[in-house]
Structure 1
Amino acid sequence: MRKIISLISIIFMFTFLPLVNAEKPKGESPATPVKQSFTVPNSVLNIAKDNTYPNATLDLPRLEPSDLTSELIDSSKVKIENPDLIRMLNETSVNSTPFAIGYRAIIYLGQWPLNYESIETAPNWEYQKVNTNYFDNRGGKAPYQIHYVQEAQKIVRGGLTAKISDTEDVQKMMLMKASQKTDLPLAFETIIGGGTKKDQVYNVQPKMLGYLYGFAPAINEKGKVTFGEVYLMLKGGKKMILIKNITTQGIGAWIPIQDHVSFSFVASELPR
């Protein structure tokens, strides 16, 4: 609703003036967060080609601001990274005229999460157990080989660790930052299909029970979100963004690593 009202206000106020083209993308992209070097353990395997459930590849393209949007973003004293806000500004046409001397208007665009600053990004390779393969070789005379077979379809979900307004916008910014820093396929939901298999074998020795556990890994992302009330100010021939009532809130999230399983093999003389 806030977006519709804002756009209607702008269109209504400036339909009688020549349009400024706001579609041409700016060539320079915002700075990319520094990537962190994660050593993926040998026990963590990529199952993308083996997964019986085809997860959709989550592509979060960086939205390029138009010339007008870049001008407005540069005029703000607070960093603006929210892709939905940038998209709304890209779709906005503001008119200018040489006869606008003395003209002034302030248009309220709503309260927005403006940017997310990542403070810590850490992996948990055993975020959620998704499968157990088992074999009892206590009566056997030779080692028995078992391998991973997903017994049932498993949905692994992440999410924010606390309640926050504009959850979807915040999740999107956190996901983008975490993906850029880790260079891993991240998604707030991933599915492991029943019957998914891997060829790696694990030996269960005689007189032993073998347990092969499968875990879905995830990234724990922590940082802070900056919120503010966004105003579009038109003064004469100038256009600028004003941010008022700025607040900052700490937030964390668990983001599963898509199409990856972490394995742990345990041999025991007694049932576990």
Structure 2
Amino acid sequence: MKKIFLAFIIVLLLIGTMGTAFAEKKPEPKAQSYQIPSSVLNITKENTYPNPTQDLPYLQPSEFTDNLLNSSKVRIENPNLIRMLNESSVNKTPFALGLRATIYLGEWPLYYESTETSPNWEYQKINTNYYDNRGGRNIYQIHYVQEAQKVVRGGLTAKVSNADDVMKMMMLKAAEKTQLPLAFETIVGAGTKKDHIYNIPPKRLGYLYAYAPAINEKGKVTYGEVYITLKGNKRQIVVKNVTTHGIGAWIPVQDHLSFSFIASEVPK
């Protein structure tokens, strides 16, 4: 009877532990699709300069790499480091009993943690269409025409080591959160047009401004010295001298423009 009662108590304790574990598990944050204002238009089809698609899918680690990443006490998400590990392998052998080795891979940005992602729909003015209708008696209609090719660049707000790796991780996070096409460089070709009409009343000057939007991404990047250690057939990653740095970046939204129209009695 005592054995049955003891078994019953153990089952109750296990159920309580499982319930606590499930209760403490937090759902992962979902991607947030940013509401695009009506003044922002997609010019992918109209753009006379074909921008390359900036697809940066998360790199899938190989079985060997996955085992190494799981052995690390520090999170590793750098796609370039994962790619390098994917191209490596260490075969197990029965003769590796006394094998001991430490391989230094260098200092790497290991992962980026996003703390704030916000759009600036008028990041950079790239074009002005203008007409003087002060001497006119009827409404004059204008529409957007890009007068000259314009290159819009973003970038990091501070200098950091391995900047390309950091930019790639930041763009992945920002694209995941906003669901917008992002690129650190986008081009609007000369002669790009949009058919939307803007009316300039008589006795007014009309100004149609076009802006390139961008995402302001802020967060923290974690660096560390990465080692692979081999002890017999056991392989693992060891990260030393871990440091964290605050970082920000401007990332343009590709093939999108924000328009602002003003009809004024006096020149602007």
State the partner residue of 2:89: 93
- The partner residue of 2:225 within 225, 229, 232 is 229
- What is the correspondence of 1:195-206 to structure 2 with a 5 Å cutoff? 195-206=191-202
How many Å apart are 1:99 and its aligned residue? 3.0
- Are 2:75 and 1:79 equivalent residues in the alignment? yes
Aligned partners of 1:233 and 1:242 also within 8 Å: yes
Identity %: 71
Structure 2 residue corresponding to 1:249, chosen from 245, 250, 253: 245
Matched positions, count = 242
**Counterpart in the other structure of 1:7:** none
Structure 1 residue 136 and structure 2 residue 132: aligned?
Answer: yes
CA-atom RMSD in angstroms: 1.2
Q: Which residue of 1 aligns with 2:36?
A: 40
Displacement of 1:33:
6.2
CA contact (8 A) 1:218 1:255 kept: yes
Runs of 4+, deviation exceeding 3 Å: none
State how far apart, in whole Å, the 2-side matches of 1:215 and 1:265 are: 11
CA displacement at 1:96 relative to structure 2:
1.6
C-alpha separation in 1, matches of 2:174 and 2:160: 18
Task: Give the CA deviation at 1:160.
Answer: 0.2
Out of 205, 209, 212, the residue aligned to residue 216 of structure 1 is: 212
Whole-angstrom distance in 1 between the partners of 2:130 and 2:28: 45
TM-score, L = length of structure 1: 0.87
Contact 2:34 2:179 in 1 (8 A): no
SS of 2:82's partner is helix
Q: Does 1:188 align with 2:197?
A: no
C-alpha displacement of 1:36: 1.8
For 2:43 and 2:120, the matched residues in 1 are separated by: 18
- Alpha-carbon deviations, 1:114-140, whole Å to 9, x = none? 000111110000000000000111011
Contact conserved, 1:32 with 1:180, CA < 8 A, in 2? no
Unaligned runs of at least 5 residues, structure 2: 1-26
- The letter of the residue matching 1:135 is Y
Alignment of 1:8-157 (within 5 A): 34-157=30-153
CA displacement at 1:32 relative to structure 2: 8.3
Partner of 1:161: 157
Per-residue CA shift, 1:77-104, capped at 9, x if unaligned? Answer: 1110001100110010112222322321
Structure 1 spans left out of the alignment, 5+ residues: 1-30
Residues in 2 aligned to 1:263 and 1:82: alpha-carbon distance in whole angstroms = 37
CA distance in 2 between counterparts of 1:237 and 1:56 reads 44
Structure 1 residues 33-42 or 46-55, which shifts more?
Answer: 33-42
Q: What SS is found at the alignment partner of 1:177?
A: helix
Q: Deviations over 1:164-186 (max 9, x none)?
A: 00000000111111111111110
| TM-score with structure 2 setting the length | 0.88
Give the letter aligned to residue 115 of structure 1.
Y
Q: 1:6 maps to what in 2?
A: none
> C-alpha distance in 1, partners of 2:48/2:188?
7
Distance 1:230 1:202 in 2: 58
Give the CA deviation at 1:111: 0.5
Give me the whole-angstrom Cα distance separating, in 2, the residues matched to 1:267 and 1:253. Answer: 35
- Helix, strand or coil: the match of 1:117? strand
